[in-house]
Chain A
Amino acid sequence: KNQVEQSPQSLIILEGKNCTLQCNYTVSPFSNLRWYKQDTGRGPVSLTIMTFSENTKSNGRYTATLDADTKQSSLHITASQLSDSASYICVVSAQNTDKLIFGTGTRLQVFP
């Protein structure tokens, strides 16, 4: 069964610190993996999209990694800011399908 699991479920860090969010998936055959940021009361916004051949992709202070062999991805946030407080959702797409499989997200709270 195609699944996407994220950890931790929630995370609290202090402003300026780094953090790493994890995503494990069982989706096969793999097509691409995305990370979305969802602010409270808003729609998800795309951070990165990675295909099978990409190991790392950055978007400002956000860096996503992908290990297609172990079916794991991580999202690293550098020098966190208060505005990073949000849910981060890992989404995986399988080949030959139009459907995305969503993880339940990691709720990040950044405190001053």
Chain B
Amino acid sequence: DTAVSQTPKYLVTQMGNDKSIKCEQNLGHDTMYWYKQDSKKFLKIMFSYNNKELIINETVPNRFSPKSPDKAHLNLHINSLELGDSAVYFCASSQVFTANTGELFFGEGSRLTVL
């Protein structure tokens, strides 16, 4: 069974559209994250949730809205997609906050291409 699963794996869409990426973890973890990996392979935190509560909200355009219906799910909705949103988005989870050496488990990534 996949520990952290995200769908879809690939997403190609036009500028201006709205799209969502879903993430689920079956590890029983309390904390979930969304990371963005750009073309230079640099991973950057976008959001983190602990028990459905927003903990980290980096300087991300408000077109990006995370939703956590329960602690096992953290979805990412993106409005009015722009070319610069093209990237690979990774969902991750950890039992404790990463600052406390909580091991981070990543999903396989969702490659978003905006045309």
Contact = CB atoms under 8 A, between A and B. Distances in A.
Interface of A: 31-32, 34, 38, 41-46, 49, 51, 87, 89, 93-100, 102, 104-105, 107
A105 B99 contact: no
Contacts, number: 57
Interface residues on B, range: 20 to 34
Given A41-B109, A95-B99, A46 B104 contact: yes
B98 interface: yes
Nearest to B58: A99
Contacts of A32: 101
Nearest to A99: B45
Contacts of A34: 104
A34 B92 CA distance: 15
